[in-house]
């Protein structure tokens, strides 16, 4: 650690990863309900499991983003964090709000608005934590008097994410309007400002890992986020095709959604060329796996698989089928899960001041490859299910229930791939909590890398 207060990030990573593990439990439960019959449907029906699965994802990824920011900002600004205490308190409030929401869902306490199910008091707590977080980060940068482009984009992404959450606090009597503004939060997060966060974390990691020139990396970072917004803002229209709004959103959505892969391909090319030009300048290859993986997987999952169903004449058949989770799972994993895991993997040895080479543990590598192949298999299973559903239910006009019975084989495949994925997550947690070195005595942390190597030899 270059700065003592960066250590705050560790607490955030612990919470994030525990929630990631919990998310897997609910993912497996959800898919088991697709196979059915469901003996526990009366006290834990699918809707609650699904809401918990998606909400845990949002909460832990945001926890990871905040942790990553607490890690990156002191380093970029070259100063200590304004208030570590405030950071710990807001993590406490954040975790309490998150856990309250999850327990609430178990008992049916929900606003029942997809992805924004959080009951109103929880929403307020989320806003408060976001404000505390932004205040803490803002003051850190102000105190240090140095703002790099990388951290600027990162913090702007998080600030915009907080602002875009505000429409979620408003209730509309017209269902069409409530859907319309719901997408301001959901779409403009994941296909807008969260991409800023992903791109800036990627830039940070590439600068650190590849020795690429900061000026060049930050120059192209602007281009990537510029492309993100050109396509992403009006790309919101692909959610506005059939919901009771004017028809002009159809061509707008078709054209601008088709541009959305550009930013993701930009990121993949960005990562590739950084490594190609500058080589690998850092021993933490495991972190590099996750960083490059994020760039490639998001190009495929968010870019190509998104484009696969955003053209209006395609979407009229695929809208509301299993094609959507096909895209959703790989996009979220590639763009946001992998980048958070990349930062965690990168930060951990430095937090414990441990030799970086030791991070390429067998468990760590297996965790990476199992998650990558598990997610690939799940995406293929969702795709097969989605194509089956589109043709049988939507084009041939066979009833939903009869079509679902034809899709059981794809759900079996989903279970298989899902188990591989969950094994990968379990190994990641094992690697983080057990394999990853930690100081035995309080003073070990002050040992230099060389000391530990000498002691081991």
Partner 1 sequence: MLTKRQTRAFFYASSGIFALIFLGLTVDAHRQVPTLTNEANNTPEVIAGKHVWHRKNCVNCHTLLGEGAYYAPDLTKITQQRGSAYLTAFLKDPTKFYSEERDRRIMPNQNLSDLEIRQVIAFLDWVSKINTQGWPPRPILVSGSATPGTEALAGPPRPAASNDPIALGQALFRTTTPGCFTCHSTTAGVTLVGPSLGNIATIAAQRIKDPNYHGKATDAASYIRESIADTSAYIVPGGSFSAGGTSFMPPGFGTSLTAQQIDELVAYLSTLR
Piece of 95-103, 197-205, 389-397, 447-455 that binds partner 1 (CB under 8 A): 389-397
Instruction: Put residue 108 in one of left, alpha, beta given phi > 0 → left and psi -120 to 50 → alpha.
Output: left
| 48 is a site residue for partner 1 (CB under 8 A) | yes
Site for partner 1 in 229-288 (CB under 8 A): 229-230, 233-234, 236, 239-250, 252
Site string for partner 1, 84-103 (x = CB under 8 A): --------------------
Residue 347, CA distances (Å) to 151, 276, 417, 419 in order: 16, 23, 29, 28
Taking the least distance from each CB to partner 1, the nearer of 34 and 71 is 34
Site for partner 1 in 422-451 (CB under 8 A): none
Two structure tokens written together for 190: 């994941």
Site for partner 1 in 325-354 (CB under 8 A): 325
Asked if residue 146 lies in contact with residue 79, where contact means CB atoms within 8 angstroms, the answer is yes
| 322 is a site residue for partner 1 (CB under 8 A) | yes
Asked if residue 154 lies in contact with residue 201, where contact means CB atoms within 8 angstroms, the answer is yes
Site string for partner 1, 24-43 (x = CB under 8 A): ---------xxxxxx--xx-
Measured distance CA(111)–CA(411) in Å, rounded:
29
Piece of 45-53, 126-134, 302-310, 342-350 that binds partner 1 (CB under 8 A): 45-53
Total number of residues that touch partner 1 (CB under 8 A): 79
| 359 is a site residue for partner 1 (CB under 8 A) | no
Taking the least distance from each CB to partner 1, the nearer of 22 and 314 is 314
Taking the least distance from each CB to partner 1, the nearer of 249 and 297 is 249
Measured distance CA(333)–CA(161) in Å, rounded:
19
- Can you tell me which of 51, 122, 209, 343 binds partner 1, judged by CB under 8 A? 51
At closest approach, how far in Å is the CB of 248 from partner 1?
A: 7
CB half-sphere exposure, 204, CA atoms < 13 A: 31
Site for partner 1 in 202-231 (CB under 8 A): 215, 218-220, 222-223, 225-227, 229-230
At closest approach, how far in Å is the CB of 430 from partner 1?
A: 31
Whether the link from the prior residue into 177 is cis, omega within 30° of 0, is no
Two structure tokens written together for 395: 């084009």
- Can you tell me which of 23, 95, 185, 404 binds partner 1, judged by CB under 8 A? 404
Site for partner 1 in 102-141 (CB under 8 A): 108, 110-114, 117
Q: DSSP string spanning 251-315? A: HHHHHHHHHHHHHHHHHHHHHHHHHHHH----S-HHHHHHHHHHHHHHIIIIIIHHHTTTSHHHH
- Neighbouring CB atoms inside 10 A of 358's CB total 20
How remote is the C-alpha of 40 from its chain's centroid? 30
At closest approach, how far in Å is the CB of 389 from partner 1?
A: 8
Taking the least distance from each CB to partner 1, the nearer of 222 and 272 is 222
Asked if residue 282 lies in contact with residue 219, where contact means CB atoms within 8 angstroms, the answer is no
């Amino acid at each position: 650690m270059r700065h003592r207060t960066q250590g705050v990030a560790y607490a955030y990573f612990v919470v994030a990863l525990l929630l990631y593990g919990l998310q897997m439990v609910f993912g497996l439960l959800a898919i088991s309900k697709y196979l059915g019959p469901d003996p526990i449907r009366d006290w834990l029906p699918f809707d609650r499991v699904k809401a918990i699965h998606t909400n845990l994802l949002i909460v832990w990824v945001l926890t990871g983003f905040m942790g990553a920011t607490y890690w990156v900002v002191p380093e970029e600004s070259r100063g200590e964090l304004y208030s570590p205490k405030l950071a710990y308190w807001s993590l406490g409030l954040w975790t309490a709000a998150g856990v309250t929401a999850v327990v609430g869902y178990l008992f049916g306490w929900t606003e029942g608005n997809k992805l924004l199910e959080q009951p109103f008091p929880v929403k307020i707590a989320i806003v408060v934590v976001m404000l505390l977080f932004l205040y803490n980060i803002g003051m850190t940068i102000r105190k240090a008097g140095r703002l790099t482009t990388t951290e600027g984009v990162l913090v702007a992404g998080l600030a915009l994410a907080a602002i875009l959450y505000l429409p979620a606090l408003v209730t509309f009597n017209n269902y069409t309007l409530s859907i319309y503004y719901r997408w301001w939060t959901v779409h403009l997060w994941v296909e807008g400002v969260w991409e800023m966060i992903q791109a800036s974390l990627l830039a940070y990691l590439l600068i650190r890992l590849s020795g690429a020139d900061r000026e060049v990396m930050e120059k192209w970072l602007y281009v990537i986020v510029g492309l993100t917004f050109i396509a992403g803002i009006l790309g919101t229209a692909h959610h506005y095709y059939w919901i009771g709004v004017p028809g002009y959103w159809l061509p707008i959505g078709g054209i601008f959604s088709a541009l959305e892969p550009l930013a993701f391909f930009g990121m993949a090319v960005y990562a590739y060329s950084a490594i190609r030009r500058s080589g690998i300048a850092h021993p933490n290859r495991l972190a590099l796996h996750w960083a490059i993986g994020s760039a490639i997987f998001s190009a495929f999952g968010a870019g190509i698989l998104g484009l696969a169903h955003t053209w209006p004449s395609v979407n009229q058949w695929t809208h509301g089928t299993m094609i959507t989770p096909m895209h959703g799972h790989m996009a979220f994993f590639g763009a946001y899960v992998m980048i958070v895991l990349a930062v965690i993997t990168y930060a951990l040895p430095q937090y414990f001041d441990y030799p970086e080479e030791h991070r390429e543990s067998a468990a760590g590598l297996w965790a990476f490859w199992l998650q990558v192949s598990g997610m690939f298999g799940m995406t293929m299973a969702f795709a097969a299910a989605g194509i089956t559903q589109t043709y049988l239910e939507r084009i041939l006009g066979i009833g939903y229930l009869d079509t679902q019975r034809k899709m059981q084989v794809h759900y079996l495949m989903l279970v298989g791939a899902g188990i591989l994925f969950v094994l990968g997550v379990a190994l990641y947690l094992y690697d983080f909590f057990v394999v990853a070195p930690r100081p035995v005595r309080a003073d070990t942390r002050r040992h230099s890398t060389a000391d530990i190597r000498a002691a081991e030899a």
